[in-house]
Structures are given as structure tokens and as C-alpha cells.
Amino acid sequence: MRIDVITLFPDFVAQCAGIGVIGRAQERGLLALHAWNPRDYATDAYRRVDERPFGGGPGMVMLIDPLRAALNAARAAAAEPVKTIYLSPQGTRLDQAKVAELAQRERIILLCGRYEGVDERLLRHEVDEELSIGDYVLSGGELPAAVLIDAIGRLQDGALNDADSARQDSFSDGLLDCPHYTRPERHGLGDVPQVLMSGDHAAIAKWRRKQALGRTWQRRPDLLTKLKLNREDEKLLFEFQEDTKY
């Protein structure tokens, strides 16, 4: 997959995506990042990319033309139209289902804003989708773009070493993750649940499912109401609820 990023801070985005699983995905040729700086496409002597807002008020607004030229440069190599996404708090909330959908694509373009905003006409004409990573305000779209690149990159085939670790992740089935333990088995802070030491793989899978269901019920009941649980899951959740009664 190829992701093009339109940003005034291309080095920052490249650094964010340069380490760990995503850095490795790039080295393996599973993910290619291309950054385009609108400042390189500014045509005036000062290389301006922002101007004062019509109607007055604080802050600056990103100019149409440098952004449009950078977008056109990113699109130049594409045979088909490439979905262009603007990251902002006004967007639709990003979730794992949307990440999975975007991860299937051959290419996407991410547009990162700075200052008070981007001229609305550029957004209306050149952006296909507006996404938000959460209900808080950042100072630009670069961190949200890095979040999206990370979430998409790790879903590329071969990015994760254990083929199963993506499928078993929280949210892949709409549930939160189960608890994890490693050595030592006994510790001053507590002991590892005995079932995990039993070697009984079916019992372990069942315990993990029960924990995932129970924690989702405790912490994110909103996620649970969106799911249709089968009889086995209903039973495991009921057991968890019984276990956590005092």
C-alpha cells in the first residue's frame, strides 16, 4: 500500500512512521510513504501557505493553491482517483472498522492542516472524507495522520510477525483485549491465573474470551450493545458477571 501525506512537516510524519512495526513494514516493501510539502508549491516570493481569515478573527487559514498543487503532485502518478482524507475534529470518528476498510486500498492521500484551518473551498473540491481520531483538539493534522498510518500499516499482510496477532487484537472482533501475563508466575503483586499455566489450550481460549467479554461489559458497554453475542459468549459473559459479584 502507498500513503501520500500532504504536510508542512514531512520529516515529523516520516519519523513517526519510521520505527517499530511500521518502520519494518516500510523496509519490507509492504508500505510506502510519500510526503509532499505545500510550501514547495507556494509561488510567491515568501513561499506563503497561509493568510488572514476573511471576516476577521485570530489565527491564519491555509491557502487553496499550495495545497492543491501538492495534492496534484501526489496524484500525478495515479491511474485511478485516490481517496483523499482530511484529518480534523469535525470528521467522522475513526474506528477499527474504518481502519480495516482503508487498509484494503492500494493508495490513500492524507491531508494535514495547521493554523486555524484550511480554506473550505479546498476541502469541498478536493477531499473525499473527513476523519477525526477523537474529541480533543490538536495543533495540526500530523499526529492524527501518524495514528492512521500506524493503524493501517500494521494491518498490511506480513507486517506483524505472528500472523494471528492482528486478528486477536482488541476491536478486531469488536471486543476489548483480554489481560496478559508473563513471568514470574508468582510475584508480590499477585499470581498468574492458574488456567494460563495449565497447558489446556481450549480452557485458555475460553478464559481469554470470557475476560474480553467481561472487560468490555465493565469498561465499554457501548461496544457490547453493538454486538450480537452467540449462546457460548452469552454464557461466558454471564459466568464473568457471576464471578464478579461480591
150 makes contact with ligand 4FM (CB under 6 A):
no
Using CB under 6 A as the binding criterion, the count of chain residues that bind ligand 4FM stands at 18
132 makes contact with ligand 4FM (CB under 6 A):
yes
User: Where in 68-97 is the site for ligand 4FM (CB under 6 A)?
Assistant: 87-89
The strands making up 61-62's β-sheet, listed across from edge to edge, are: 50-51, 61-62, 117-118
18 makes contact with ligand 4FM (CB under 6 A):
no
Distance CA 213, CA 193 (A): 17
> Which of 13, 41, 70, 114 contacts ligand 4FM by CB under 6 A?
114
138 makes contact with ligand 4FM (CB under 6 A):
yes
Residue 81, H or E segment: none
CB of 157 to ligand 4FM, least distance (A): 27
Spell out the residues 6+ positions from residue 72 whose beta carbon is closer than 8 angstroms to its own.
Answer: none
Residue 119 contacts residue 49 (beta carbons within 8 Å): no
Phi and psi at residue 230, to the nearest 5°: -80, 175
Closest Cα partner for 74 from 28, 107, 30? 107
- Our CB check for ligand 4FM shows the closer of 129 and 173 to be 129
CB of 9 to ligand 4FM, least distance (A): 12
C-alpha distances in Å from residue 179, one per residue of 163, 169, 210, 216 = 20, 12, 11, 12
66 makes contact with ligand 4FM (CB under 6 A):
no
Q: Which residues are catalytic?
A: 89, 116, 154, 169
Distance CA 6, CA 155 (A): 22
- Our CB check for ligand 4FM shows the closer of 137 and 163 to be 137
- Our CB check for ligand 4FM shows the closer of 12 and 115 to be 115
- Our CB check for ligand 4FM shows the closer of 91 and 174 to be 91
> Which of 113, 127, 175, 207 contacts ligand 4FM by CB under 6 A?
113
Residue 60 contacts residue 31 (beta carbons within 8 Å): no
Distance CA 73, CA 50 (A): 19
Q: Which residues bind ligand 4FM (CB under 6 A)?
A: 87-89, 113-115, 117-118, 132-134, 136-141, 144
